[in-house]
Amino acid sequence: MDANHKKQIMTKLSQVPTAPLAPPADYNPIPDMFIPSKYHDIIPKDPIYVNDRYVVPGSREWFTYMYNFDESFYPEEDKTAHYDRKGKYIPRRPIYRSQVIGNYVPTHIVEKAQTESLEKLKATALRKESAYYGTTPKHYYSRFNTIKSLTEASDNFHTRIPKYLAKRKENHEYGFSNATLDKHLTKFLKNNRLQTQGAMRFPTHIVAAVSDDTAEFENCPNKWDNAHNDYHYLPFLNHKMKRLRPTPAITNDSLAPGPSNSKTI
């Protein structure tokens, strides 16, 4: 190992945050993370110290302490796993813990904190996913379902139409009628919400109505002005200019992809 490599390792080790020596003034015994249900009724109200060293709730040392403390409630004969004749695991039964309830956080408070923590994680994930699709959490499901529906309609169209055209050509060669074939095609277009304009088919999905703030959030100036183009070939589309996600200032770590002409360094 050369001196430069050793110096880098020592620098990284010196940057590792150390645990505080004492609990903060607003000490919270319930960590803001997932906690196994078997620990819900044995979380101490007071700070935990191991070898005169403060243990931060939610740290590795904290979970080690909780595991050892939980194990202390099981009889010695239950330390090993037991199975019935069919090989099914027999759950262990801890000793009743009522004698220590007064020193520990009530179970319903822990479960409430766990529910709130889970809701915050879901909200954060929804915000990130909404940003990826270029919309707000309120309109995420509407946009997602529209994208999914349009994608499925496009895939079904490109799977069905080649077979339809081949069958029409075969009917023409043999002089057969296309009435039944066209009837099935009309039903297919209706089921996939596709509209016929001459020899072309277009989606008829409804554009979601959003507030001005959401429209501003979804607006993208780099998008082709499809509604005000002089050569517009879709006269039945009367919605406003398409709303897309804005171009991110930095594309290498942005949650939302930029336009096709953006570059990532």
- What's the pLDDT tens digit per position in 155-194? 888 888 888 888 888 888 888 888 888 888 888 888 877 7
**Range 19-35 average pLDDT:** 86
Structure confidence at residue 265 (pLDDT): 43
Number of domains in the chain: 2
- Point out the domain boundary residue: 182, 206, 230: 206
| 31 lies in the same domain as 86 | yes
In a domain? residue 2: no
Whether the Cβ atoms of residue 55 and residue 62 lie closer than 8 Å to each other: yes
- 152 in a domain, yes or no? yes
Asked if 62 and 48 count as a contact pair (C-beta separation under 8 A), the reply is yes
The verdict on 109 and 160 lying in the same domain is no
- State whether 161 and 77 are in the same domain: no
Domain that holds residue 49: 17-132
pLDDT-derived band at 240 (thresholds 50, 70, 90) equals very low
Residue 149 belongs to some domain of the structure: yes
Nearest CA-CA partner of 204 in 243, 149, 143: 149
The pLDDT of residue 219: 63
In the predicted model, is pLDDT for residue 231 greater than 70? no
Residues 113 and 155 both lie in one domain: no
Residue 80 lies in a domain: yes
Q: Is 101 a residue whose pLDDT tops 80?
A: no
- Whether the per-residue pLDDT at 64 is higher than 60: the answer is yes
Residue 264, in any domain of the structure: no
Residues 22 and 110 in one domain: yes
My answer on whether 157 and 107 are in the same domain is no
* 48 dihedral zone (left: phi>0; alpha: psi -120 to 50; beta): beta
Mean pLDDT confidence for 19-37: 87
Domain contains 75: yes
Over 50: is that where the pLDDT of 253 sits?
yes
Instruction: Check whether residue 33 and residue 124 sit in a common domain.
Output: yes
pLDDT value, residue 232: 47
207 pLDDT band (50/70/90 cuts)? low
Q: Which of the two residues, 57 and 220, has the higher pLDDT score?
A: 57
Asked if residue 231 is part of any domain, the answer here is no
Q: Give domain status of residue 121, yes or no.
A: yes
Final residue of a domain: which of 132, 166, 184? Answer: 132
Kindly state whether residues 75 and 148 are assigned to the same domain.
no
Mean pLDDT of the chain: 75
